[in-house]
Amino acid sequence: MDLLRARAAAAPPRHDLSALPAVEALVAVARPEEPMHCLRPAAIAGAAAGFVAGFPGETLYAVKCNPEPAVLRAVWEGGVRHFDCASAGEVALVRGLLPEAAIHFMHPVKARSAIREAWQRHGVRDFVLDTAGELAKIREETGTLAAGAGAAEGLGLFVRLALPKGVARYDLSGKFGAEPEAAAALLRAARPQAARLGLCFHVGSQCLEPLAWRRALALAGEVIRAAGVTVDVVDVGGGFPVAYPDVTPPPLGAFFAEIEAGFEALALPGAVLWAEPGRALVAGGGSVVVQVQQRRDGALYVNDGVYGTLSDAGAPGFVFPCRLIRPDGPVAAESQDFVLFGPTCDSADRMAGPFRLPADVREGDWIEIGQLGAYGACLRTAFNGFDRARLVEVRDRPMLEGEASAA
């Protein structure tokens, strides 16, 4: 039996965890010489279930965070029924894999063909916009130009509100969103065509400050009052953080409490809350096993890097949990910090870490690097031809046990 075979998109989810291998045992048998991506479906399903149970509204999984079919199945198993898609490809993937899913096209700038395909072929009815031009494009490509036709067809229109620059690890304030006055005008323009009208925003990825959502909701309330129209949905976006070795975020409950209080303060009868988590659901559910190809003092040359699964370990400087796997013998009790270099010929393929490992790490050892279920394998490139990797589902717990993953 080949434990490293690729998983087909149509394969059913696995419920028997005893049938799944453990990472260390798998390495001992397979001795992989290419990066090995390890998915933990139980951890993903548990994190999804915890978020769905705790968030005071509807949960939309942000597919861009990890579109692997096994991940989508695990999120579904955890109770998520709504999916935030950003392209025609993501829409088609979710519809083909999960026919009963509710799909929402939440990218503010879309190709006309993508709008048509989502509307006509896949039954998508919700679309985000942040300009009058995008509103016109959506109405034209959905065939809902006639007054009130969009509402009759179930068209959902969501205005993306721009937020001031915040303190999130990845600031998202510069590319999308309408300024408050423009957002209010867009709400007024969209209301007659919308069966469902929403206002959405994003505080930034890996945001550690619960009050950021409270402030954003207060601004959303000002915009809604200025628009003078009924809003059906307030979408607070994603950005919910997870733990890393150098980061311990507040519990998710602190974020949910601020969101619920901020939403209640808006006093919007009949309106509901949405959220678009990605990292918070899947980060702990993925890791990569790399092999050491060379050691030079405190630097380790490994077979994956910033052009592969470890993009966030490069310029963004994320610190990831790691452990040494040496099936054939003991490891030193002493440890030290290492820098990693990836396999490409680019000197920028460097990951400062620090990666804390046993001091006697050597060529041929394997290293498992965790918290890569979010924005890990999905950012891989084929640069220098280093695009080969294997995928396996495992039963191990996440390398960092956060609140959601323990749910």
Identify the sign of the CA torsion 46, 50, 53, 57.
Answer: negative
CATH of the domain at 235: 3.20.20.10
Look up the pTM and report it.
0.92
Last residue of a domain, one of 260, 282, 304: 282
Same domain, 193 and 288: no
Same domain, 240 and 308: no
CATH of the domain at 310: 2.40.37.10
Same domain, 158 and 251: yes
Residue 5 lies in a domain: no
Residue 10 lies in a domain: no
Same domain, 301 and 256: no
Rounded Cα distance between 76 and 81, Å, is: 6
DSSP 328-378: TS---S-EEEEEEE-SSS-TT-EEEEEEEEETT--TT-EEEE-S-TTTTGG
Same domain, 195 and 339: no
Interacting residues of 273 by C-beta distance below 8 A, sequence separation 6+ = 55, 56, 57, 58, 233, 234, 235, 236, 259, 260, 263
DSSP annotation of 216: H
Residue 224 lies in a domain: yes
Same domain, 305 and 273: no
Range of the domain at 352: 22-40+284-393
In tens digits, what is the pLDDT along the chain, a chain of 407 residues?
233 433 333 333 344 556 789 999 999 999 999 999 999 999 999 999 999 999 999 999 999 999 999 999 999 999 999 999 999 999 999 999 999 999 999 999 999 999 999 999 999 999 999 999 999 999 999 999 887 888 889 999 999 999 987 665 656 566 889 999 999 999 999 999 999 999 999 998 899 999 999 999 999 999 999 999 999 999 999 999 999 999 999 999 999 999 999 999 999 999 999 999 999 999 999 999 999 999 999 999 999 999 999 999 998 899 999 999 999 989 999 999 999 999 999 999 999 999 999 999 999 999 999 999 999 988 999 999 998 889 999 999 999 876 444 33
Same domain, 251 and 326: no
Same domain, 317 and 267: no
Residue 271 lies in a domain: yes
Residue 405 lies in a domain: no
Interacting residues of 344 by C-beta distance below 8 A, sequence separation 6+ = 305, 307, 383, 384, 386
Residue 13 lies in a domain: no
Residue 206 lies in a domain: yes
Show the tokens assigned to 32.
Answer: 């992989």
Last residue of a domain, one of 282, 310, 338: 282
Last residue of a domain, one of 250, 282, 314: 282
Residue 34 lies in a domain: yes
